[in-house]
Amino acid sequence: MPQLQEFKQTARATWAAGDYDAMMRQEGLYETGDRIVQLAGVGEGEVVLDVACGTGNAAIPAARAKATVTGLDLTPELLAVARRRAADAGVQVEWREGDAEELPFADASVDVVLSTFGVMFAPRHEVVADEIARVLRPGGRVGLVAWTPEGAIGEFFRIGGAYLPPMPDFVDPPLSWGTEQRVRELFEGTGIAFEFSREVAGLRHRSVESAVECYVNWFGPMVQARANAEADGRWPAMREDLAGLFARHSEPDGDGIAFPAEYLAALGTKRR
């Protein structure tokens, strides 16, 4: 399917734009990786796969828990940063370039599959769910984190989407991973039973203006949206839309602001 491959090439370039690691550090988003590792109960000696791992959000804390960890991502630029972060943390992770829709692992070979704000951006969600179920051993666990469509980040993505080209028909909406019903539907028939919790990440910035600059300079999809908006004269409107979002949802936090962002944590166990 040439259109699918073209979409993935474009996605790879989009996620390589900006500085994803700088965005994650400024916001305090790496804490969500620690959280899903804790919720999934990752333990010493377990074989763990972090799918669409980005810069190692879940892979590195899983390695700190003394698991045997592989981090897989479509974007080599993000993996290069993940390698540096793992070295700084003093942990061993195998980093592999690969596609969430074609996991390069044998059937029933993984104890725990994790993904933090990762697989939600793969184009075909049912394909990804089937791949996760395939590589997970009976009794194995899944820990997935995705933004909810009702939360502030759901609104953030809708704002950004207005300044990007429409998604192709074969691409599933990323925010659908943030609903309990959709996750159950995706894994129906796989033998994986889920429990859910809705949690809040208190993203941190110095100011509303700093939050806007963080995203439009460092977060790949928003970097692309800004470039499009600047090209057609809509950048002032986009900046105003984002500033309004952060102003509405932020709370004072010391010498800066906190931006409460709801996400869905989906925890599954493969019964057979």
pLDDT tens series, the chain, 272 aa: 799 999 999 999 999 999 999 999 988 899 999 999 999 999 999 999 999 999 999 999 999 999 999 999 999 999 999 999 999 999 999 999 999 999 999 999 999 999 999 999 999 999 999 999 999 999 999 999 999 999 999 999 999 999 999 999 999 999 999 999 999 999 999 999 999 999 999 899 999 999 999 999 999 999 999 999 999 999 999 999 999 999 999 999 989 999 999 999 999 999 97
Q: What is the DSSP string of 107-131?
A: TT-EEEEEEES-GGGSS-HHHHHHH
Domain spans of the chain?
A: 2-150+167-203+261-270
C-alpha 222/C-alpha 217 separation (Å) is 8
The rounded distance, in Å, linking the Cα atoms of 265 and 262 is 10
Pairing of strands 256-270, 251-253: antiparallel
Q: Rounded distance, CA 128 to CA 131, Å?
A: 5
What angle do helix axes 220-231 and 2-16 make, rounded to 10 degrees? 100
**Which pair of tokens denotes residue 179?**
């609903």
Q: What is the CATH number of domain 2-150+167-203+261-270?
A: 3.40.50.150
Q: To the nearest 10°, the Cα dihedral for 75, 178, 268, 95? A: 10
Is pTM beyond 0.75 here?
yes
